[in-house]
Amino acid sequence: MPETASASEDRAMSAPAPPPAQPRNPLHGVTLEAILAALVAHYGWPALGERIPVRCFQSDPSIKSSLAFLRRTPWAREKVEGLYLFMLRDQRRHRRPDGTGEA
């Protein structure tokens, strides 16, 4: 049986639109766990606790407990994302023109 125009329009309207590409957003596609792991690798827990003074970074820190806190605390997550963006900019600034190591 041929499909009516309204049936195909309904299906097209109900299908979710693909998310827009975000090629210039450095946070796009990066999980909170990956962000936190990169910050810990770069700064270490003590320095991370100084930069963002929250108990989950200062007292018996772990990725698991920090993720739980950050997922339910929007202001802390914003600070972590901001520090991650700062770290990326700082790394880019100190890279050699040929893309290797420190300048």
- Domains of the chain, start order: 28-93 (1.10.720.30)
Q: What is the pLDDT of residue 49?
A: 95
pLDDT confidence tier of residue 25, bands split at 50, 70 and 90 = confident
Quick check: pTM over 0.85? no
User: What's the CA dihedral at 23, 27, 28, 31 to 10 degrees?
Assistant: 150
Indicate if the alpha-carbon torsion angle 22, 96, 42, 54 is positive or negative.
negative
Share of the chain above pLDDT 90, in %: 58
Mean pLDDT, range 12-20, rounded to an integer: 65
Extract long-range pairs of 69-73: CB within 8 Å, 24+ residues apart: 70/32, 70/36, 71/32
Q: What is the pLDDT of residue 33?
A: 96
Q: What is the pLDDT of residue 46?
A: 96
Q: How far apart are CA 82 and CA 13, in angstroms?
A: 37
Q: Per-residue pLDDT for 82 more than 90?
A: yes
Q: What is the pLDDT of residue 48?
A: 96
Q: What is the pLDDT of residue 22?
A: 75
Are the beta carbons of 70 and 77 closer than 8 angstroms? yes
Q: What is the pLDDT of residue 83?
A: 96
Q: What is the pLDDT of residue 57?
A: 95
